[in-house]
Amino acid sequence: MVKNIIDVRNLSKSFETSSKEPSLKGTIKHFFRRKTKSLKVIKNISFEIKEGEIVGFLGANGAGKTTILKMLCGLIYPSEGRIVVSGYLPYKRKNNFLKNITLIMGQKQQLIWDLPPIESFYLNASIYELDKFEAKKRIKKLSDMLEIHDELFIPVRKLSLGQRMKSELLAALIHEPNILFLDEPTLGLDINAQRNLRKFLQKYNEETNATICMTSHYMKDITSLCKRVICVHNGSISYDGDLDLLIKKLSPIKEILIVCRSEEDATKIENSVFTVKNKIKNEITIEVENASIASSLKTILNNFNIEDLFINEPPVDEIIGKILIKKDYEI
C-alpha cells in the first residue's frame, strides 16, 4: 500500500497588511498611526499526496499556489491547521527534513553568477555533507540525465536560460531529495527547453519514485506530467482529482470535422440527427457528446460517403480556465 508522504489538514495562512495614503502627509500619518488588517490568503484547505505522485497546483495569479508550496517546504509558518511532510513538521526545519526536499523557483536562482555551475555543485555537496567522490558520481549521473556536460565549466552568466535552468535543477537535486517542490520550473524557457525539462522530471520520478508538487501556467507541463491536479481559487481548493476526469467533465462535447466526397454527401449529414455547428461545401462540423463518440463514428462510417474525419478537442488552457474562475466545483 502506497503511503501518504504529505498530509495537510485544515490549513490556513493569514498575513498582516497595511495601506498608506499618498503624499508626505500620508507617509507621516502611516508612520505614526499605521492601520493594519489581516488578509487570509489560504483558507482551511486539506489534501493528501502519496509517495511517488506528481501533482499539479493550478490557479490564477494570486490564488495561493506558491504560498502553499512555501508552507509545505517550511519557508512560511502556517497560521492554522497541520502539515506533515515525510513525517516532519516543515516549519521546524529539521536537518533530516531539509535533506529530503528541494524547492525550485523558476524566477529565482541559487548558482553563483560569475562562477561555473560545477563550483556551485561542489558547494552544495559540502553543505549536504557529501564527500567529493560521491558528489562527483551524482553530478555525472544527473548531468547525463539532463544532457549537459561542457556547460558545467562555463560561467553561469554566459549560459542560456535553458542551460541555466538545467544547472539549477542539478544543483537542487545533488542531495537526492525524495520530494520536489517546483514553482514555475519552465518559466521563460523556449519550447525545446520546456520539453527537455519535462522529460527529465518524468525520468527522475520513474527512477527515484520522488514525489513532485509543481505549479505552472504552461498547461503542457501539467498535462504531460500530472495525472492529478489541485485547483486553487482565492485560497480555497475548488477541485482535487484526476486531470482527465476534470477535462471530460468541463468539456462534455467534441467537434468532429467530416470531409465528404461531395457537397451532396455533406448535405445528407446536415439533414440527419447530428447537431451541425458549421458547413462549408463538402466539409461539415458536427458536435457529439463524449459518451456517444463511438456510436456516432460507427453511424457516420456506415451510412455516409466520406473521405476523412478529424476529432477536435478544445485547448486544455481554455478548459482549465473555466474552473480557475469558479469558487466551487464538484465532480
Query: 110-151: per-residue pLDDT in tens?
Result: 899 999 999 999 999 999 999 999 999 999 999 998 888 899
Domain co-membership, 96 together with 234: yes
Contact 81, 12 (CB under 8 A): yes
Q: Is the pLDDT of residue 1 over 70?
A: no
Residue 61 maps to which CATH number?
3.40.50.300
Domain co-membership, 162 together with 290: no
Pairing of strands 54-58, 253-260: unpaired
Number of residues that this document lists for the chain: 331
Domain co-membership, 312 together with 185: no
Using only C-alpha atoms, the chain has a radius of gyration, in whole angstroms, of 25
Domain co-membership, 159 together with 79: yes
Q: Is the pLDDT of residue 240 over 60?
A: yes
> How many domains does the chain fold into?
2
- With b for 16 or more beta-carbon neighbours within 10 A and e for fewer, the 215-235 pattern comes to bbbbbebbbebbebbbbbbeb
- Whether residue 69 lies inside any domain: the answer is yes
* Helix, strand, or coil (residue 277): strand
Domain co-membership, 231 together with 277: no
- Whether residue 328 lies inside any domain: the answer is no
* Helix, strand, or coil (residue 296): helix
Domain co-membership, 306 together with 278: yes
Of 265 and 211, the structure prediction assigns the larger pLDDT to 211
Output the pLDDT for position 181: 96
pTM for the model: 0.81
Range of the domain at 195: 4-248
Query: Among residues 248, 273, 304, which one ends one of the domains?
Result: 248
Mean pLDDT is lowest, of 50-59, 72-81, 200-209, 283-292, for 283-292
- Whether residue 308 lies inside any domain: the answer is yes
Grid look-up 467534441 returns: 254
How is residue 321 written as a grid cell? 480556465
The confidence band for 180, taking pLDDT boundaries of 50, 70 and 90, is very high
Q: Percent of the chain at pLDDT above 90?
A: 46
Of 252 and 268, the structure prediction assigns the larger pLDDT to 268
Domain co-membership, 14 together with 101: yes
Of 289 and 182, the structure prediction assigns the larger pLDDT to 182
Output the pLDDT for position 319: 67
Output the pLDDT for position 328: 44
- Whether residue 326 lies inside any domain: the answer is no
- Whether residue 286 lies inside any domain: the answer is yes
The confidence band for 331, taking pLDDT boundaries of 50, 70 and 90, is very low
Contact 202, 175 (CB under 8 A): no
Residue 311 maps to which CATH number?
3.30.70
Domain co-membership, 269 together with 131: no
Domain co-membership, 33 together with 172: yes
Output the pLDDT for position 91: 94
d(CA 129, CA 123): 10
Across the range 286-308, mean pLDDT stands at: 86
Domain co-membership, 153 together with 239: yes
Contact 122, 163 (CB under 8 A): no
- Whether residue 329 lies inside any domain: the answer is no
Pairing of strands 4-18, 36-50: antiparallel
d(CA 242, CA 182): 20
Nearest to 277 by CA among 255, 259, 250, 246: 255
Query: Among residues 248, 275, 291, which one ends one of the domains?
Result: 248
Q: Percent of the chain at pLDDT above 70?
A: 94
Of 11 and 249, the structure prediction assigns the larger pLDDT to 11
- Whether residue 273 lies inside any domain: the answer is yes
Across the range 245-267, mean pLDDT stands at: 83
Query: Among residues 227, 248, 269, which one ends one of the domains?
Result: 248
- Whether residue 157 lies inside any domain: the answer is yes
Domain co-membership, 34 together with 165: yes
Domain co-membership, 40 together with 141: yes
